[in-house]
Amino acid sequence: MLDVNINSMGFRSSEGAALEVLRDLHFNCAQNSFTSIVGPSGCGKTTTLRCILGLETEFDGVIKTSDASGHLHKISAVFQEPRLLPWRTVEQNVRLALKSVDDTELNTLFAELALTEHRDFYPAELSLGLARRVGLARAFAVKPSVLILDEPFVSLDDETAGRLRKLLMQVWAARSCTALMVTHNLLEAIELSDRILFFSGSPSRVVSEYEITVDRKNRNRRTIEQIREDIYASGAASPVD
Amino acid sequence: MGRIAGGRLPAWLISVGGLLLVWAVFAWFAQSRSLPSPLQVASAIVTEVRSGEMFFHMGATLARVAAAFVVAMAIGSAIGILLGRSRKLNHFFDPWVIFFLNIPALVIIVLSYIWFGLNEAAAIGAVALNKIPNVIVTIREGAKSLEPQLAEMAKVFRFSRWQMLRHVVLPQLQPFFAAATRSGISLIWKIVLVVELLGRSNGVGFQIHLYFQLFDVATILAYTLVFVVVMLAVEYLLLQPLEKYSRRWRAKHA
């Protein structure tokens, strides 16, 4: 389980002006669930993820990433920019994240993400879609119990993004981990998530949430749009968001 | 790269040939011991090579160049990375760096011999000390501009300190190492000759000093030419292939 309780988080500009980004942000993600965060731009969604990843430490609050027995969760991330080391090959990039490497597992993962032929390529030789797939491979390779995804499919064409979402679902379903994704795209959130959290503008908090009960297998274009209408009707979010 | 064999090499040959021709013409008109012809210099080279002197002194000088280079790069890089990463340290030590950057090489050499004696360690140390501030300034620039995104990635995936240095930091500094190496080797070998002239009993600098006293310009030029050729070989056969290898990942797009 992932339990986020941030009372307040802010930045100080170089001129000393304080800007509060998050206030009274409380939510948790059930074990092995897929949760999406949707909200207006600049509302602190990415900041929330950075707090969970331990990249921001100056906040008032507690983020629990351990399970009931107190066992610390292994967290990994898929960044918005793939953040691969340009001077290492695809395979080296993935292996570097691993403490111990199981070659069979790695082969399976590369095969699942259709990366087998690209193992010896350098990131500069990959398209953005491919680089994103390597980012996914690296994030799953470490066998995380919590997976953080920061707009993993942004600035891809619809077709590529759609294919990548299907791949993500396959790989995620085959392993068990708690996923938390930030996205601008409500339809994408509906396609992937068990639950959607809607964030308010700055300083942001969770204004509403929506549980998706339709089985993932039955989510197609039509049902996804129906769910969207239902979300608008329930008042959890409005079409302008 | 095919152009080197096809188009650029002949142009390069013509250029060098032209220089030799101008030299030969001047030497022929001068007919003086202080301006020997290319042929006289060539025969001086042969004499020195036959007697074994050339290899002995060239080897001594090259060993000093290599030692001073390694010491300067290691110490300079470590300090450069430190200063580039810590604003406070950089603030404090910046005047020190500027101070050492501006001490004339000759002063460092003389003081080094006075304080530490006429020995090999003092000689190599003096050369390295001349180069270290340059390395610091170059590497510091690189360390200031490290990509924070990659550092965060390394933190999330729990890279060890060693992994961080080897796979994240050093590759980003590679262009700065290349620049420091390039300017470093040319600076170091010039200073090594001065160090040898002032306080060593072997090496190219020592030989040039000796033949200066004998007024043997042909042999002075013989050592100079051979040394320049050796340094060119280091550049083309060692530095450039190394740099090309370290840039292999900047490949063409698929």
Locus of tokens 């049902």: A223
- Report the C-alpha gap between B117 and B223 in whole angstroms: 27
Q: Which residue of B has its CA nearest to A79?
A: B153
Pick the more confident residue, B61 or A240: B61
Give yes or no for residue B196 having a pLDDT over 90.
yes
Residue type, B49: V
With CB atoms and an 8 Å threshold, state whether B251 touches A75: no
Q: Looking at residues B107-112, what average pLDDT do you find? A: 94
Mean pLDDT confidence for B44-69: 94
ipTM above 0.90, yes or no: no
Structure confidence at residue B133 as a pLDDT band (50, 70, 90) = very high
When CB atoms are compared, the residue of A81, A97, A124 closest to B249 is: A124
Cβ of B157 within 8 Å of Cβ of A124? The answer is no
> Which token pair is B140?
């510091």
pLDDT(B55) > 60: yes
CB nearest B156 (choices: A53, A85, A99): A53
Bridge partner residues of A22 (DSSP): A9, A204
A147 at B interface, C-beta within 8 A: no
Which tokens in the block code for residue B31?
């007919």
Residue A228 in tokens: 């969207």
**pLDDT tens sequence across B137-149:** 999 999 999 999 9
How far is B196 from chain A, CA to nearest CA, in Å?
41
Q: Which of B156, B167, B252 sits opposite A76 (nearest CB)?
A: B156
A56, A73, A74, A83, best to mutate vs chain B, most B CBs in 10 Å = A83
Is some CB atom of chain A closer than 8 A to the CB atom of B150? yes
Residue among A219, A161, A230, A160 nearest A192 (CA): A219
Enumerate residues 178 to 217 of chain A having a beta carbon within 8 A of any beta carbon in chain B. Answer: none
Q: Is residue B161 within 8 angstroms of chain A, CB to CB?
A: no
Within 8 A by CB and 6+ apart from B64, the residues are: B120, B123, B124, B127, B192, B195, B196, B203
What is the pLDDT confidence band of residue B254, given thresholds at 50, 70 and 90? very low
Q: Do the chains contact at B253 and A83, CB–CB below 8 Å? A: no
Instruction: Kindly identify which residue of chain B lies nearest to residue A139, measuring between CA atoms.
Output: B157
pLDDT of B1: 42
Residue A101 sits at the chain B interface (C-beta within 8 Å): no
Stretches where chain A sits below pLDDT 50 are none
Determine the Cα–Cα distance for residues B26 and B20; give it in Å rounded to an integer. Answer: 10
Q: CB of A174 within 8 Å of any CB in chain B?
A: no
How high does pLDDT run on average in chain B?
90
**Residue pLDDT, tens place only, B169-190:** 999 999 999 899 988 888 898 8
CB-based contact A51:A63 (threshold 8 Å): yes
Q: Which residue has the higher pLDDT, B83 or A74?
A: B83
**CA–CA distance, B197 with B176 (Å, rounded to integer):** 32
Whether B22 shows a pLDDT value over 90: the answer reads: yes
Q: Please give the residue of chain A at the shortest CA–CA distance from B249.
A: A87
Q: What is the model's pLDDT at position B74?
A: 95
Return the residue of A nearest to B170 by Cα: A87
Here the tokens at position B242 are: 């190394």
% of chain B with per-residue pLDDT over 70: 95
**pLDDT of res. B252:** 53
Helix axes B9-30, B38-51, angle to 10 degrees: 100
B171/A contact by beta carbon, under 8 A: yes
Q: What does the pLDDT read at residue A172? A: 93
Kindly identify which residue of chain A lies nearest to residue B172, measuring between CA atoms: A87
Chain A CB contacts of B178 under 8 Å are none
Nearest to A85 among B150, B155, B174 (CB): B150
**What's the pTM?**
0.79
Rounded Cα distance, B247 and A87, in Å: 8
> Residue A68 has what pLDDT?
61
